[in-house]
């Protein structure tokens, strides 16, 4: 039986099609709850979509599905649980980062293969708010973060869970993003 050429071409196209992916670190539950309180208070005052607390480890990269899965698994297998430390609370003009926690870069950055090297200017961060805020609103939001949790800028915790997401940046919230897979990091002696 012969497979029609248009079906073959469609299958090849789908295998080669590139989509946008990100890698997130998910903080431990007690940290997520602490950060959610800040996120919810900021959202109540400044608007914007709901956000699930996460650290953007690898920003949006355009890759094919099979390759990104392989790179994600290979990268995660070479990373042990690691300490995350907030460097500072910052404001930026970006929709996804008007107020965020900058996370000190870690040595694991190179473990995600070639696609991360294209993002080497990326600074791991945890967004506390999404939206197009004016400079004055960003300043007020930054002050509110300090009022809500005056020690958030010195937060430190162990990261042991990474998640790969397919993202759709034209949709300005996380509801349309698709979780592809999750990986629980383990010390090398437990692999």
Please list the active-site residues.
54, 125
Residue with tokens 């958030």: 152
Residues in the chain: 191
CA 24 to the chain's CA centroid:
3
3-state secondary structure of 49: coil
Q: Distance between terminal CA atoms of the chain?
A: 46
* CA distances from residue 1 to 4, 50, 167 in whole angstroms, order as listed: 10, 51, 38
| Residue 188 near residue 43 (C-beta atoms within 8 A) | no
* 3's tokens: 């497979």
């Amino acid at each position: 039986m012969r497979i029609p050429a248009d079906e073959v071409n469609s299958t090849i196209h789908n295998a080669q099609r590139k989509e946008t992916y990100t890698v997130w670190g998910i903080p431990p539950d007690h940290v997520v709850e602490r950060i959610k309180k800040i996120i919810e208070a900021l959202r109540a005052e400044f608007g914007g979509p709901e956000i699930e607390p996460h650290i953007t480890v690898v920003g949006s990269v355009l890759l094919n599905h099979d390759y990104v899965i392989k790179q994600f698994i290979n990268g995660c297998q070479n990373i042990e649980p690691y300490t995350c430390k907030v460097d500072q609370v910052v404001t930026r003009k970006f929709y996804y980062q008007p107020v965020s926690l900058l996370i000190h870069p870690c040595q694991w950055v190179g473990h995600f293969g070639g696609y991360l090297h294209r993002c080497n200017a990326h600074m791991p961060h945890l967004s506390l708010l999404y939206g197009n805020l004016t400079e004055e609103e960003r300043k007020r939001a930054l002050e509110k973060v300090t009022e809500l949790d005056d020690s958030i800028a010195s937060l430190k915790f162990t990261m042991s869970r990474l998640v790969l997401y397919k993202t759709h940046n034209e949709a300005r919230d996380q509801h349309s993003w698709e979780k592809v897979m999750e990986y629980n990091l383990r010390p090398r002696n437990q692999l």
